[in-house]
Amino acid sequence: MRKILPIFLCAVLLLSVAVSAAACNPDNVPTDELVVYNWADYIYDYKDDFYAYYKSLTGRNIKVTYVTFDTNETMLAKIMQGDAKVDVICPSEYAIQKLLEKDLLLPLNYFDEDKYVADMQADFAKYVHNGGNVDRNVLGKIDEAFGAVSVEGQDGTRKMSDYMVPYMYGTLGILYNKYAFIDSGIYDYGIMNKANWGILFNDDGDGNLLSNGLTGNILMKDSIRDSYAATLFYLKESGKLDGLTSTDESSSYYGKAYSELSVGEFINAVDDQLLSLCQQALTQQKEQLFGYEVDFGKDDLLKGNAMVDLAWSGDAMYAVEESWDDSLCAACSEERGERVYGEEQRDENGNKYYVCKHCQEECGDYELSYYVPHSAGNIWFDGWAIPKNTYNPEHLNAIKIFINFLNSPRVAAENMMEIGYSSAVDPEAVRQDADARATLSRVYLVDCDYWDKKDENGNDVAEFDYGSWEEFEEYFFDSRDVMDNSNWRYPFVLSDDETRALETLGVMRDFGVNNKAVVTMWNYARSTGENALPLLGWTALVLVVAAGIIVLCEYIKRLRNSKIKIAPAASGGESPDKSDE
């Protein structure tokens, strides 16, 4: 038996290899390859769709190897060393800038070519990357932020948009528990828009505490870049930079007052003066903090451990959607300035629902909300790029088709649903595309096949989040938050709106030579503020008290011993009896 088992296992192994080989190539069609290097969880389940798409265009099979990274820095290190054999990458804009400066990217400027090519299989080179679908606002913003990029060892300058195809973008803002804000009396348009980024520092905009309730309930992102941006904005708003001018001699705005810089310039300003002010603000902020978070503070916010968190829009959107509470009455809570819960009711099928006793309406609201301060904010973009030194030239067509695939409106809709951030594909293109609408409908169960279907008891087969496509469309594309008057998902949609000018959103570039200074500042801010000296003081006090008590006890004991010295004679008489026994 013992000898048969290994043979049997070998046979099974061989068989499975043969089967899998056959499965890979069932119809003898040539197979192309593609290696994608992307953030983890940053794409929908694209495989079947992409394989079908690829085959329809080329008549060939494709094998995608999907590798992930967790920080831009990991990705940068791998690409710069050139030891990762990857064809296409999807980092943040500042990392793309870094790679471009080192002359490590292949141009990707297909946006101006014709949208349709008659015979795609014959001429891939002319094949256009759904360029028409990419939101021009996004491309414009990227080029505005990075300007002319000079490349190492090359003459002239380059445009960022020629080297990246934008994928997803989002803003940096404040995720907060709306009902905790209502309880604290700060859920108010005037108060919040005066405090702006001061909310993270519990500053009402005048240097006073915004609310006692916020103390010890603020979460800060454990991320240098995001925290630095938020702190800079706070310094400017709170007037701590009034009258100060830039001391950065290498910048074009040296000597200019900080208040005169555009948001795009200001968010990238680093100099000793700003660093020391930032450090001060961050150290002071510690008294107000619940702590620093690495993932995102959704759980802490929902559990009530914290009220405020610095967050990206996609994480925030996800957290907000998760925070639905059937029993909260939004209108009455806001009006009365405290949480108003409805009373539990049951419909004829036994399903729970809540009705408010004040307004008699059915209840339900999102407990969390997201706020992008009016004064200034940060917008970021992730995009696809081809690293010159690691891509396989034989895979170039597959790379182009992959990027093209990602820019089709339906895939953009799928990705938005899966990831939560905004796709760089023009919202109008998504809104008009029948497949994209079907995708969104399926996810939110609007207007789908189940619409009128009932089970044998006469109940709806599926529960609908929205009554109709129009209702959903309004929510998805046009919903504007009452507090910051902005569209979380599509900040560009409101670009012509007077309350949220695009100029208030800046793109952050790489810190460059200043990186070390910022890191040192952040380390210092994280290290100081919470001092252990009081602990030492308390310990010393306890030790002194304990020593005092021992000495006192000893003293009393001796005192008693000397007093009853005559007495032992009585007890001394008993002990010999005992020893006799």
- Which residues are at the interface with other proteins (CB under 8 A)? 71, 73-74, 77, 216, 219, 222-224, 286, 289-294, 300, 303, 305, 515-516, 519-520, 522-528, 530-536, 539
β-partners of residue 61 are 31
Minimal distance in Å, beta carbon 297 to other proteins? Answer: 9
Minimal distance in Å, beta carbon 353 to Zn ion? Answer: 11
For residues 217 and 241, is the Cβ–Cβ distance under 8 A? no
168 or 328: CB nearest Zn ion: 328
Which option in Zn ion, other proteins, none does residue 341 bind, with CB closer than 5 to 8 A by kind? Answer: none
Which option in other proteins, Zn ion, none does residue 290 bind, with CB closer than 5 to 8 A by kind? Answer: other proteins
240 or 339: CB nearest Zn ion: 339
SS (H, E, C) 358-402: CCCCECCEECEEEECCCCCEEEEEEEEEEECCCCCHHHHHHHHHH
Which option in Zn ion, other proteins, none does residue 364 bind, with CB closer than 5 to 8 A by kind? Answer: none
For residues 390 and 177, is the Cβ–Cβ distance under 8 A? no
27 or 295: CB nearest other proteins: 295
**How far separated are the first and last CA of the chain, in Å rounded?**
76
Minimal distance in Å, beta carbon 182 to Zn ion? Answer: 13
292 or 366: CB nearest other proteins: 292
Q: Is beta strand 308-312 parallel, antiparallel or unpaired with respect to 218-221?
A: parallel
Which option in other proteins, Zn ion, none does residue 222 bind, with CB closer than 5 to 8 A by kind? Answer: other proteins
29 or 77: CB nearest other proteins: 77
Q: How far apart are CA 49 and CA 79, in angstroms?
A: 28
Minimal distance in Å, beta carbon 170 to other proteins? Answer: 19
For residues 147 and 399, is the Cβ–Cβ distance under 8 A? no
71 or 479: CB nearest other proteins: 71
* Residue found by looking up tokens 């495989």 in the block: 47
Give the nearest residue (CB) to Zn ion: 356
Minimal distance in Å, beta carbon 359 to Zn ion? Answer: 3
Kind plus residue range of the DSSP H or E element containing 576: helix 568-580
Which option in other proteins, Zn ion, none does residue 363 bind, with CB closer than 5 to 8 A by kind? Answer: Zn ion
**Three-state SS at 248:** coil
Minimal distance in Å, beta carbon 474 to Zn ion? Answer: 22
Largest CA distance in the chain: 122
Q: How far apart are CA 509 and CA 289, in angstroms?
A: 28
For residues 401 and 381, is the Cβ–Cβ distance under 8 A? no
71 or 247: CB nearest other proteins: 71
Which option in Zn ion, other proteins, none does residue 343 bind, with CB closer than 5 to 8 A by kind? Answer: none
Provide the 8-state DSSP code for 294. Answer: S
Which option in Zn ion, other proteins, none does residue 169 bind, with CB closer than 5 to 8 A by kind? Answer: none
Minimal distance in Å, beta carbon 289 to other proteins? Answer: 6
244 or 359: CB nearest Zn ion: 359
Minimal distance in Å, beta carbon 513 to other proteins? Answer: 10
Q: How many CB atoms lie within 10 A of CB 558?
A: 10
Minimal distance in Å, beta carbon 358 to Zn ion? Answer: 4
For residues 224 and 518, is the Cβ–Cβ distance under 8 A? yes
219 or 385: CB nearest other proteins: 219
Q: How many CB atoms lie within 10 A of CB 416?
A: 25
210 or 289: CB nearest other proteins: 289
Minimal distance in Å, beta carbon 376 to other proteins? Answer: 23
Q: How far apart are CA 18 and CA 158, in angstroms?
A: 50
Q: How far apart are CA 417 and CA 445, in angstroms?
A: 13
Which option in Zn ion, other proteins, none does residue 332 bind, with CB closer than 5 to 8 A by kind? Answer: Zn ion
Which option in other proteins, Zn ion, none does residue 535 bind, with CB closer than 5 to 8 A by kind? Answer: other proteins
β-partners of residue 31 are 61
Q: How far apart are CA 197 and CA 207, in angstroms?
A: 12
Sites of contact with Zn ion (CB under 5 A): 329, 332, 342, 356, 358-359, 363
Which option in other proteins, Zn ion, none does residue 519 bind, with CB closer than 5 to 8 A by kind? Answer: other proteins
Instruction: Report the interhelical angle of 469-478 vs 434-444 (nearest 10°).
Output: 100
**Three-state SS at 507:** coil
